[in-house]
Amino acid sequence: MARFFKNRSAVQGKSPGELIFIGRQKVDSVKIRMIQYDESFIEETAGDTLAEVLKNRKEECITWLDITGLHDTETIAAVGAEFRIHSLTLEDIINTGQRPKVEEFDQYISIIVKMMRLETSDEKIHSEQLAIIMGENYVITFQERPGDVFDPVRERLRAMKGRSRRSGSDYLAYALLDTIFDNYLILIERLGEQIESIEPMLLDNPGAEIISLINEYRRELHFLRASIRPARDAIRDFSRLESDIISPSTFIFLRDLNDLATQADEAMETYREMLKDQLDSYSATSGNRLNEIIKFLTVFSAIFIPLSLLAGIYGTNFAHVPEFQLRYGYYFFWGFLVVVATIMIIFFKRKKWL
Amino acid sequence: MARFFKNRSAVQGKSPGELIFIGRQKVDSVKIRMIQYDESFIEETAGDTLAEVLKNRKEECITWLDITGLHDTETIAAVGAEFRIHSLTLEDIINTGQRPKVEEFDQYISIIVKMMRLETSDEKIHSEQLAIIMGENYVITFQERPGDVFDPVRERLRAMKGRSRRSGSDYLAYALLDTIFDNYLILIERLGEQIESIEPMLLDNPGAEIISLINEYRRELHFLRASIRPARDAIRDFSRLESDIISPSTFIFLRDLNDLATQADEAMETYREMLKDQLDSYSATSGNRLNEIIKFLTVFSAIFIPLSLLAGIYGTNFAHVPEFQLRYGYYFFWGFLVVVATIMIIFFKRKKWL
Amino acid sequence: MARFFKNRSAVQGKSPGELIFIGRQKVDSVKIRMIQYDESFIEETAGDTLAEVLKNRKEECITWLDITGLHDTETIAAVGAEFRIHSLTLEDIINTGQRPKVEEFDQYISIIVKMMRLETSDEKIHSEQLAIIMGENYVITFQERPGDVFDPVRERLRAMKGRSRRSGSDYLAYALLDTIFDNYLILIERLGEQIESIEPMLLDNPGAEIISLINEYRRELHFLRASIRPARDAIRDFSRLESDIISPSTFIFLRDLNDLATQADEAMETYREMLKDQLDSYSATSGNRLNEIIKFLTVFSAIFIPLSLLAGIYGTNFAHVPEFQLRYGYYFFWGFLVVVATIMIIFFKRKKWL
Amino acid sequence: MARFFKNRSAVQGKSPGELIFIGRQKVDSVKIRMIQYDESFIEETAGDTLAEVLKNRKEECITWLDITGLHDTETIAAVGAEFRIHSLTLEDIINTGQRPKVEEFDQYISIIVKMMRLETSDEKIHSEQLAIIMGENYVITFQERPGDVFDPVRERLRAMKGRSRRSGSDYLAYALLDTIFDNYLILIERLGEQIESIEPMLLDNPGAEIISLINEYRRELHFLRASIRPARDAIRDFSRLESDIISPSTFIFLRDLNDLATQADEAMETYREMLKDQLDSYSATSGNRLNEIIKFLTVFSAIFIPLSLLAGIYGTNFAHVPEFQLRYGYYFFWGFLVVVATIMIIFFKRKKWL
Amino acid sequence: MARFFKNRSAVQGKSPGELIFIGRQKVDSVKIRMIQYDESFIEETAGDTLAEVLKNRKEECITWLDITGLHDTETIAAVGAEFRIHSLTLEDIINTGQRPKVEEFDQYISIIVKMMRLETSDEKIHSEQLAIIMGENYVITFQERPGDVFDPVRERLRAMKGRSRRSGSDYLAYALLDTIFDNYLILIERLGEQIESIEPMLLDNPGAEIISLINEYRRELHFLRASIRPARDAIRDFSRLESDIISPSTFIFLRDLNDLATQADEAMETYREMLKDQLDSYSATSGNRLNEIIKFLTVFSAIFIPLSLLAGIYGTNFAHVPEFQLRYGYYFFWGFLVVVATIMIIFFKRKKWL
């Protein structure tokens, strides 16, 4: 399957707004977690069905509803009905091949991004789609599978640290996005370290394996960029929205997020150019080494070729070769070889090939 | 004929707005199909002439008039007269070399795009021009030849599924465009899979056939891009039109279409860069292999060349060569060969060429 | 003389607005043709002097004054005086190295473009500067030499076909520009066919002549682009002018012209990239072939070099070489050669060089 | 550690706005210096704690508070409290991996740039983050470590030279930025001299060391650009702010700063392209030299190969070789060698390989 | 010294607005020339000090004050005081490393450009900074050294030709800039001719000297572009200024200047791409020639290698070689050589290497 696309063919011919899960099913059952809080109060609920979880929802608190597992379209539809979410938004949520984007609706703002993290177990980048629905007093997050990067946010909520508990749903959404973008930067930083470590290898005698290394990093950057660049555009759109849901004091934070996104994008661009430069350098070095080798072959051959001819000439079996009968013919012959070789060497020294 | 142009010379010197069919005639006769529907009613009519089909048109329904075959300029002109279509629009419809575009007129919006699909029979991309005229309560589509990608839309209309039947002509036009763009993404996905499958081949010992493969995919991308990029621009213009014909609720769908188009364009750009990277890698690998081969040749030759000279020297027929008479001359000679070869090998080991 | 410049040095130090003819004199005498028409009337007059032609001008008709030959600055100055044309415009008209542009003045709009056509006699692109002055009820065209692409426009005027006779001077100007841009597209189409026909040649064994072909097409594209891209910008400016001289109904046509210009530009860009891709492919193929040849040389040499050494060794004239006296020494020697050759071949088979 | 990132992982999971020092600790203790001045008065105070320094602050003067050392988050927090600085700004100040930026807050403008200078001791570029907080009547600068480029500004303040003492805090901020950008230009100038000095080396016989030189300069440019380009953007934003803190007369100076930044950016771009051109030239020259060497090898080998064959043929031991018995056979043989060699030489002269 | 920078280090640490001459001192003493004129009157005065020249200034005339030599900062300061010029402007005037720019002040507009001309004596491009201060009724020009391109403007003023004498100081400033831009175009034209003349050389057998030629032209273009591109930006800003100093009728001329600048920039871009294309072609041709040479070497060697082996085999001294005793052994041997050579030739013909 193409890495940059998620099985688009599955939706072919379906009505826009119809709910079909696109992506591999990654969990057995849907998990729903709800955190409700205000400045003085916090409560966490978890369950398997929406009704079960929502029944003790307190409207006056900020509610963070976190749904893991997208294959159960019924649950998604139930959330949609409960929070009056547009069918197109629901379609975007379960179609995990979405381009990151921010869209404003009457009652809420929908944010689709890729959540990426470096799995410590296998040093691979794990990527999944995250949808954030941010309403007046609630935030709903939809994840493809268990495990996310939001534990620090939860910790801060529980610990009453920072401004989380005092602020509204817009600040919560910002905090989630901030965590996601921080992870982008960490990924790029790791990749960058590896890319910069290629540099000294270029000065040594690099073989073909460096090309496949460069190639692999390029593909990783393509992959990251396909997620991060649209996310940056989405964040820019986000920080320009004139929505009542976002309080003015949050805009300063969004501006900060915007800077983070720009920094990520610039770093990726810089690393792309560095990889290009490295391949150029490799090619130039490789061409240079070819010249060295060929020059050696040429000089070496050119010195010996006339000598061999001389040996060949005096290996002929002509009946009357006067040199053969000379007393010191053989020694003259050796002397001749030395003279010819010396002339060739001087010639190549003059040519600067030696 | 140039693949990126459709016989432009044919219109040379014709008055703008005059109707001349440009393109190969692909059908024998014109086919006209009409679907009329509202929330409670649906009727399909088909025929060969416009008058025949239109005679039972119901003005209060949404009418989708689908005309297949553009060579019969009389029929096109009759449609133009019936729906008061500007002569320039009619010219665009039958001139199948048009750049995709959206144009707003007083009574209607005209949309020209390329409809592309992967023919399952021959795995080739088939492309034809599709013109959509969208008026207050009607949509007219003009196709070059039978067979299109709209069957799912028809099915949904018949089945009363989705919002199709409840919405106006603007939603129908959107649904048609959505189907077309879905097909673009499917095409790019397929191409992308093939492009990504080149990657592992680069690590093996690739021959010239990989270059022609890369070249072919590049041309396919050029071809797709020449249709899809202007289509993306057209959709952007479309979603910004402030026309009474488009109802506000449809704009959300157009925004979605816009995202689809952007995603398609970004994917094409990514694949273009991947192909460029692959060719770069190929060249670097190829240069590297050249170095390996030449190094082998050089080392191998350089070891044997002095040995051959020695053999040549002792093949000379000088009368007085003291070595010839030595009891173990021949064995000393062999020993000498081994010593020289060993020195050469050590020399190349030091040089890191071995 | 530089192909992309027209003898700029000639104007050095002249006052801006002074009339100096730049370009080669291409006609002996100036020819002036006038077509006057309204919906019911058309009259063509020709002559050598302006006074002679203009004396029976009818102010109530649309007048198309076509002046061929720019070296007679007196005539140009007379036209300027008659129609109150700004001195800078007159300078632009006779300085044939102008960048295509559209400029609005109080009384008129001046349009400078390059008129290009494929001369059927020699298959060369002929380019000359065309200036169009479009006023309330007149259009004046200035050509460098006889022969133009406007005959179809004249035919339509005479035949009362299309909307030409019913429309004003703005439509006439549009029709002339439309003809010029149609010719651009035809030129690009021709060039494109030739460029696309290079593609299959790349798969065969192409020599250096394909490089000079690619180079030539690149230069042609540079040349075309230097004229067409500014013309596209000019047309865009034109379609955005808010001038009383242009009637609203003409704007739809200008929008169409704009599309034509954009299509021309995109096609040129696509062909430029295709040529770049082709040269890349050529280089990669060429590098690949080099590898093949060198590999052959290496394998072939490496098989024979040890054999030759063996022959050399048994060609030495040592007095005591035991092998020489063996009964089947010569046959053993042959066997030895075959064994060594076989080992080498197996070695290269293993290395995948054979 | 990646050179383009500062240990991003350290903030992972921290609340935005929490103060964590990112970067290596470069000083032992924090140093605080304060300069207060108006047109007639100037006073310099230094100390280790904020309270100590601030106790004799005169509100009616312009205050420049310069804090060196960012690891003591308590001092930073104290400054933040004293001057009511937003927590996000404080976070930016101590997180030394910030992208250069300008942000407007209600009470102040925050400016983050990189301060770079060429350390004369080791000819290395030293870079540190500088944060400038500019309020109504104060400027606060935060440096990572002792030593800066601001001595000339201090000198001018003390000497009452220029307009420094007569102007407000906005002019002081401008003067600091101007000094920083002047240093950028000096760095680029130095780098540029070195890059331009590569040019003549290309004409000589350059080896692989020139590639690593080009590569090194490229990396330096990447590094400079990663700091200077965002700084340019920041300055542009700065000169467009409509803040009451900036007096109209200062805008002329900001415009000047903007030009400086643009000039720096253009120069970097030019040098990047020059390096690219130089590597291209190097590759072309290297390819050319390869051709020369191979041509020599080919011509040289091709002349000698037939001669060697002839010698070999007359070295065979056939019993009946008529030439062997000829009186002047050996001399004829030599003549034959000369004739064959001459033919080969003429052949290569014709081919223009000699 | 870096060619693209003018000794920036000299201003390091100086107060912005302080007058320090940057650049090499090119004249011994300052020369001041003044031309005063109105429609009916013209007077030229020259002198060494400002006071001397200005004492008979007539306020009601247009005054063109031309100051040659910038090292005498006192004179510059005196001019600044007399015409109330901002200190930043004065700094820009004597700092000859300025980026071309246009800045509007209350009383005047300052224009900084590079004046370039082809010195006929040595065919080198001479470049110096020109500052134009344009006020209500005066124009002041500051040149680095004697000799400029303005003689035609002076001639026209004296001769009362053109509109110079009738127009205000804005037209004079335009006329000066027009002359400067005309010289840019002439320089680019010359360079272009030389670049286009490389093209036919590529088809012949070009050596390394063509690379250094291409490289040199590239550097010239970099140099021109560094001056002309910012000048183009400056002119665009200029033609958009809404200053009372510029009369409406002059805007048409500025628009024209704008076109000139755009044309210059496009031409430079085209020539840059042509040089890039030429280097690509050179590399491809060079690679192609390498293939030809190597193919020759391979075919030639491969034909002779087996023949040499055969000669070697029959040069061995085995006691019992039956072929040696054959009557026509030697002739069979020759026949054998011919057969093997023919087989090789057929083999290579089949392979299309011959």
Q: What is the pLDDT of residue D195?
A: 92
CA distances from D318 to A318, C309, E312 (A): 12, 20, 12
- How far apart are the C-alpha atoms of D268 and E200, rounded to whole Å? 34
A283 lies within 8 A of chain D by CB: yes
Phi then psi dihedrals of residue C35, to 5 deg: -115, 125
- How far apart are the C-alpha atoms of E77 and E51, rounded to whole Å? 12
In chain B, the percentage of residues whose pLDDT exceeds 70 is: 91
CB atoms under 10 Å from CB of A344, counted, come to 19
Restricting to D residues 11-40, those with a Cβ less than 8 Å away from any Cβ of A are: 11-18
Q: What is the pLDDT of residue B266?
A: 92
Instruction: Supply angle C-alpha E261, E266, E270, rounded to 5.
Output: 150
Q: Mapped to the 3 state alphabet, what secondary structure does B317-340 carry? A: CCCCCHHHHCCCHHHHHHHHHHHH
Interface contact flag, C330 E320, Cβ < 8 Å: yes
Provide the mean pLDDT of chain D.
87
Can you tell me the mean pLDDT for A275-304? Answer: 93
The alpha-carbon radius of gyration of chain E (Å, integer) is 35
Amino acid, single-letter form, for residue A302 = A
Comparing CB atoms, the residue among E161, E164, E189 nearest residue C5 is: E189
Phi then psi dihedrals of residue D89, to 5 deg: -65, -45
Can you tell me the mean pLDDT for B101-113? Answer: 92
Residues of D in contact with E304 (CB under 8 A): 305-306, 309
Interface contact flag, C320 B314, Cβ < 8 Å: no
Q: What is the pLDDT of residue C179?
A: 93
- Strand residues in chain B grouped as ranges (E): 31-37, 42-47, 62-68, 101-104, 108-119, 124-135, 138-143
Residues of B in contact with C188 (CB under 8 A): 5
Q: What is the pLDDT of residue E5?
A: 52
Restricting to E residues 55-84, those with a Cβ less than 8 Å away from any Cβ of D are: none
**Token digits of residue B51:** 């008058």
Comparing A6-20, A340-354, D179-193, D248-262, the range with the smallest average pLDDT is: A6-20
Restricting to C residues 79-108, those with a Cβ less than 8 Å away from any Cβ of B are: none
Handedness of CA C20, C23, C29, C30 (dihedral sign): negative
pLDDT in tens, C37-80: 988 889 999 988 888 899 888 888 999 999 998 888 888 999 99
- Alpha-carbon gap: E135 to the closest alpha carbon of chain C (Å): 22
**Token digits of residue E33:** 């020339």
**Token digits of residue C137:** 């009820």
Restricting to C residues 230-249, those with a Cβ less than 8 Å away from any Cβ of E are: 230
B269 lies within 8 A of chain A by CB: no
- Alpha-carbon gap: C203 to the closest alpha carbon of chain B (Å): 7
- Both ends of chain B: CA-CA distance in Å? 55
Is residue E269 pLDDT above 90, yes or no?
yes
Is residue D27 pLDDT above 70, yes or no?
no
Q: Whose CA is closest to D93, among D57, D117, D116, D67? A: D67
Is residue C141 pLDDT above 70, yes or no?
yes
pLDDT in tens, B277-291: 999 999 999 999 999
- How far apart are the C-alpha atoms of E211 and A190, rounded to whole Å? 41
CA distances from C181 to B3, C147, C260 (A): 20, 17, 7
Amino acid, single-letter form, for residue E33 = R
Q: What is the pLDDT of residue A208?
A: 80
Strands D31-37 and C138-143: unpaired
C193's CB contacts (< 8 A; 6+ apart) are: B1, B2
Interface contact flag, B155 A4, Cβ < 8 Å: no
A62's CB contacts (< 8 A; 6+ apart) are: A36, A37, A38, A137, A138, A139, A168, A169, A172
How many CB pairs (< 8 A) connect A and B? 182
- Alpha-carbon gap: D129 to the closest alpha carbon of chain A (Å): 15
3-state secondary structure of D66: strand
Cβ-count burial E4-38 (b if 16+ within 10 Å, e if not) = bbbbbeebebbbbbebebbbeeeeeebbbbbbbbe
Residues of E in contact with C220 (CB under 8 A): none
Can you tell me the mean pLDDT for E226-250? Answer: 88
Is residue B168 pLDDT above 80, yes or no?
yes
Restricting to B residues 147-176, those with a Cβ less than 8 Å away from any Cβ of A are: 151-152, 155-156, 161-164, 174-175
Residues of A in contact with D92 (CB under 8 A): 256
C216's CB contacts (< 8 A; 6+ apart) are: none
Cβ-count burial E66-76 (b if 16+ within 10 Å, e if not) = bbbbbbbbebb
Q: Nearest-CA residue of chain A relative to B156? A: A15
Interface contact flag, D284 E283, Cβ < 8 Å: yes
pLDDT in tens, E18-38: 666 666 666 668 899 999 998
Q: Name the band, by pLDDT with cuts 50, 70 and 90, for residue C1.
A: very low
Q: Nearest-CA residue of chain D relative to E287? A: D287
Angle between helices E329-350 and D248-313 (to 10 degrees): 150
Residues of A in contact with B297 (CB under 8 A): 297
Q: What is the pLDDT of residue E109?
A: 94
Q: Whose CA is closest to B44, among B25, B20, B61? A: B61
Q: What is the pLDDT of residue B32?
A: 93
How many alpha carbons lie under 13 Å from residue E1 in its C-beta half-sphere?
11
- How far apart are the C-alpha atoms of C149 and C168, rounded to whole Å? 21
Comparing CB atoms, the residue among D252, D263, D288 nearest residue E211 is: D288
Provide the mean pLDDT of chain B.
87
pLDDT in tens, C145-170: 888 889 889 988 888 766 778 888 99
Contact call for residues A264 and D112 (beta carbons, < 8 A): no
The alpha-carbon radius of gyration of chain A (Å, integer) is 35
CA distances from E111 to D350, E67, E86, E180 (A): 61, 15, 13, 12
The alpha-carbon radius of gyration of chain C (Å, integer) is 35
Q: What is the pLDDT of residue D20?
A: 64
Is residue B295 pLDDT above 90, yes or no?
yes
Interface contact flag, D162 E279, Cβ < 8 Å: no
Comparing CB atoms, the residue among E178, E196, E202 nearest residue C3 is: E196
**Testing the interface with D: which of A193, A291, A297, A323 to mutate, by most D Cβ within 10 A?**
A291
CA distances from A312 to A326, B316, D133, D306 (A): 18, 7, 88, 12
Residues of D in contact with E268 (CB under 8 A): none
CB atoms under 10 Å from CB of E300, counted, come to 17
C180 lies within 8 A of chain B by CB: no
DSSP lists the bridge partners of residue C110 as: C103, C133
Interface contact flag, E9 D315, Cβ < 8 Å: no
Phi then psi dihedrals of residue C41, to 5 deg: -140, 140
A330 lies within 8 A of chain B by CB: yes
Is residue E11 pLDDT above 90, yes or no?
no
Q: Nearest-CA residue of chain C relative to E171? A: C16
Provide the mean pLDDT of chain C.
87
Alpha helix positions (H), chain E:
50-54, 73-82, 87-94, 151-159, 169-196, 198-203, 209-240, 248-313, 322-325, 329-350
Q: Whose CA is closest to D199, among A291, E2, E207, E229? A: E2
**Token digits of residue A54:** 């929502």
Q: Which residue has the tokens 């022969």?
A: C147
**Testing the interface with D: which of E3, E7, E15 to mutate, by most D Cβ within 10 A?**
E15
pLDDT in tens, D99-109: 899 999 989 99
In chain D, the percentage of residues whose pLDDT exceeds 70 is: 91
Hey, which of A239-243, B185-189, C295-299, C320-324 has the most confident mean pLDDT? C295-299
Q: What is the pLDDT of residue D2?
A: 47
Residues of C in contact with E287 (CB under 8 A): 283, 286-287, 290
Comparing A104-113, C47-56, D8-17, E54-63, the range with the smallest average pLDDT is: D8-17
Q: What is the pLDDT of residue D348?
A: 95
In chain D, the percentage of residues whose pLDDT exceeds 90 is: 48
Provide the mean pLDDT of chain A.
87
C320 lies within 8 A of chain B by CB: yes
pLDDT in tens, E273-324: 999 999 999 999 999 999 999 999 999 999 999 999 999 999 999 988 999 9
Interface contact flag, E267 C5, Cβ < 8 Å: yes
pLDDT in tens, D57-78: 888 899 999 999 888 888 899 9
Q: Nearest-CA residue of chain D relative to A284? A: D283
C325 lies within 8 A of chain B by CB: no
Q: Nearest-CA residue of chain D relative to E6? A: D189
D250 lies within 8 A of chain E by CB: no
**Token digits of residue B11:** 């219109």
- Alpha-carbon gap: E299 to the closest alpha carbon of chain D (Å): 10
- How far apart are the C-alpha atoms of B126 and B147, rounded to whole Å? 11
Contact call for residues E37 and E43 (beta carbons, < 8 A): yes
Interface contact flag, E15 D163, Cβ < 8 Å: yes
- How far apart are the C-alpha atoms of E247 and E169, rounded to whole Å? 10
**Token digits of residue C167:** 């429309």
D314 lies within 8 A of chain A by CB: yes
Max CA separation in chain A (angstroms): 121
Q: Name the band, by pLDDT with cuts 50, 70 and 90, for residue C278.
A: very high
Comparing CB atoms, the residue among D156, D182, D287 nearest residue E286 is: D287
CB atoms under 10 Å from CB of A258, counted, come to 18
Top pLDDT among D236 and B11 is at: D236
Restricting to C residues 184-223, those with a Cβ less than 8 Å away from any Cβ of B are: 185-186, 188-190, 192-193, 196, 199, 202-203
CA torsion, points E244, E245, E251, E256, in degrees to nearest 10?
Answer: -150
Q: What is the pLDDT of residue B201?
A: 85
- How far apart are the C-alpha atoms of D128 and D113, rounded to whole Å? 9
Q: What is the pLDDT of residue C208?
A: 80
pLDDT in tens, E64-123: 999 998 888 888 999 999 999 998 899 889 888 888 999 999 899 999 999 998 877 777
Q: What is the pLDDT of residue E44?
A: 92
ipTM computed for the complex = 0.84
Residues of C in contact with E312 (CB under 8 A): 307-308, 311-312, 315
Residues of D in contact with E215 (CB under 8 A): 199, 202, 277-278, 281
Interface contact flag, A16 B155, Cβ < 8 Å: no
- How far apart are the C-alpha atoms of B194 and B189, rounded to whole Å? 9
Can you tell me the mean pLDDT for B17-41? Answer: 77
- State the chains in contact with B (3 or more Cβ–Cβ pairs under 8 Å): A, C
- State the chains in contact with D (3 or more Cβ–Cβ pairs under 8 Å): A, E
Q: What is the pLDDT of residue E7?
A: 52
